[in-house]
């Protein structure tokens, strides 16, 4: 559905369902350079299983108008304004990679509006290499290649895709090809520059789930585990075969972990 946030067009996938105030809500926040459709299977499931779903396109991503938001904090505030636009007082927030930092910030900034957070493919700090940042800054193809290759487990190009007939590398490259120049750099810089993790973690009151890919090359599992130490009581699920794009690489296991967490 199209929304108006800050007077600009924004978009959220709702799994073809009108929002129902009587249902609990789950908000999905994508990672750097991506959009709502990266949550395709998982967001669709919850939309058809009793949840209001708002799988957002952050500004300048997918169907949402730009410009992009420069910091994780600005993105978190924008998520709340998108929820406001749909009269959603509170929701569980599920974030991937950059989106996981946004989910954390949301839980810290407005504990009363965030029922639980699931952080997928995450690390804190989420440092981005200088070469990656520079390639993205000049919109060099190498940046999209890094995002694609490091964004999946090493065996992905040689293995099978759980989604029949699809080529994960090609799909990621095609998504990135649709980005306006500068957007990937904006996102990577936001991740790299985010320094509020400890302070945010200290304010989190809601249940937290980490879903980590054991073969993640972008945000390594050990970094995700270290991050989880900042959030005592957080539940951690490691997906043995998965890399950073667990929603596509291990879609069923990712969904099952989310179902268990959101139903708890």
Partner 1 sequence: MAGPKYPGFDTLALHAGQSPDPATGSRAVPVYLTTSYVFRDSEHAASLFNMERAGHVYSRISNPTVAVLEERVAALEGGVGAIATASGQAALHLAVATLMDAGSHIVASNSLYGGSHNLLGYTMKRFGIETTFVAPGTPENFAKAIRPSTRLLFGETLGNPGLEVLDVPAVAQLAHGAGLPLLVDATFTTPVLMKPFELGADLLYHSATKFLGGHGTVIGGVLVDSGRFDWEKSGKFPQLTAPYAGFHNMDFEEESGTRAFLLRARREGLRDFGACMAPMTAFQILQGIETLHLRMPRHVENTRKMVQFLAAQAAVEKVVYPELPGHPNHALAQKLLPRGCGAVFTFDLKGGREAGKRFIEALRVFSHLANVGDAKSLVIHPASTTHYRMTDEDLKKAGIGPGTVRLSIGLEDAEDLLEDLGRALKASQK
CA–CA distances in Å: residue 254 to residues 73, 104, 113, 242, 250: 26, 19, 24, 10, 6
Residue 25 structure tokens: 């809500």
Q: Round to whole Å and give the CA distance between 135 and 124.
A: 22
Q: Is 171 in the site for partner 1 (CB under 8 A)?
A: yes
Q: Is 40 in the site for partner 1 (CB under 8 A)?
A: yes
Complete edge-to-edge strand list for the sheet that includes strand 2-5: 2-5, 8-13, 52-57, 25-29, 91-96, 114-120, 208-213, 235-239
Q: Which is nearer to partner 1, 67 or 170 (CB)?
A: 170
Q: Which is nearer to partner 1, 161 or 192 (CB)?
A: 161
Give the one residue of 167, 195, 199, 202 binding partner 1; rule: CB under 8 A.
Answer: 167
Give the one residue of 8, 21, 84, 155 binding partner 1; rule: CB under 8 A.
Answer: 155
Give the one residue of 19, 23, 24, 45 binding partner 1; rule: CB under 8 A.
Answer: 45
Stretch that binds partner 1, among 79-87, 91-99, 118-126, 132-140 (CB under 8 A): 132-140
Q: How far is the CB of 189 from partner 1 (least distance, A)?
A: 17
Give the one residue of 71, 161, 192, 238 binding partner 1; rule: CB under 8 A.
Answer: 161
Q: Which is nearer to partner 1, 58 or 104 (CB)?
A: 58
Cβ neighbours around 81 below 10 Å, total? 13
Backbone conformation region of residue 221, classed left if phi is above 0, alpha if psi is from -120 to 50, else beta: alpha
Q: How far is the CB of 138 from partner 1 (least distance, A)?
A: 8
User: Residues with Cβ < 8 Å from 89, sequence gap 6 or more?
Assistant: 83, 113
Q: Round to whole Å and give the CA distance between 115 and 83.
A: 13
Q: Round to whole Å and give the CA distance between 233 and 172.
A: 34
Stretch that binds partner 1, among 91-99, 106-114, 122-130, 169-177 (CB under 8 A): 169-177
Q: Which residues lie near partner 1 (CB under 8 A)?
A: 13, 16, 35, 37, 40-42, 44-45, 48, 62-63, 131, 134-135, 138, 140-143, 145-146, 149-150, 155, 157-167, 169-171, 173-175, 177-178, 251-252, 255
């Amino acid at each position: 559905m199209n929304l108006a946030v800050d007077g600009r067009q924004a978009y959220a996938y709702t799994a073809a369902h009108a929002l129902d105030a009587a249902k609990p809500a789950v908000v999905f926040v994508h990672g750097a350079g991506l959009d709502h459709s990266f949550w395709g299977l998982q967001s669709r499931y919850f939309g058809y299983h009793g949840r209001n779903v708002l799988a957002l396109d952050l500004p300048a991503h997918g169907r949402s108008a730009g410009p992009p938001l420069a910091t994780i904090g600005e993105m978190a505030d924008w998520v709340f304004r998108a929820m406001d636009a749909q009269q959603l007082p509170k929701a569980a927030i599920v974030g991937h990679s950059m989106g996981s930092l946004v989910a954390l910030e949301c839980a810290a900034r407005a504990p009363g509006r965030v029922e639980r957070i699931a952080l997928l493919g995450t690390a804190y700090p989420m440092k981005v290499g200088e070469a990656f940042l520079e390639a993205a800054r000049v919109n060099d193809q190498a940046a999209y290649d890094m995002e694609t290759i490091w964004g999946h487990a090493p065996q992905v190009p040689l293995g099978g895709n759980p989604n029949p007939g699809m080529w994960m590398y090609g799909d990621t490259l095609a998504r990135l090809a649709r980005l306006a120049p500068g957007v990937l750099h904006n996102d990577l810089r936001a991740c790299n520059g985010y320094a509020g993790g400890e302070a945010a973690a200290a304010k989190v009151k809601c249940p937290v789930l980490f879903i980590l890919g054991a073969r993640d090359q972008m945000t390594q599992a050990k970094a995700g585990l270290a991050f989880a130490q900042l959030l005592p009581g957080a539940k951690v699920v490691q997906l043995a075969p998965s890399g950073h794009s667990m929603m596509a690489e291990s879609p069923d296991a990712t969904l099952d972990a989310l179902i268990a967490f959101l139903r708890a």
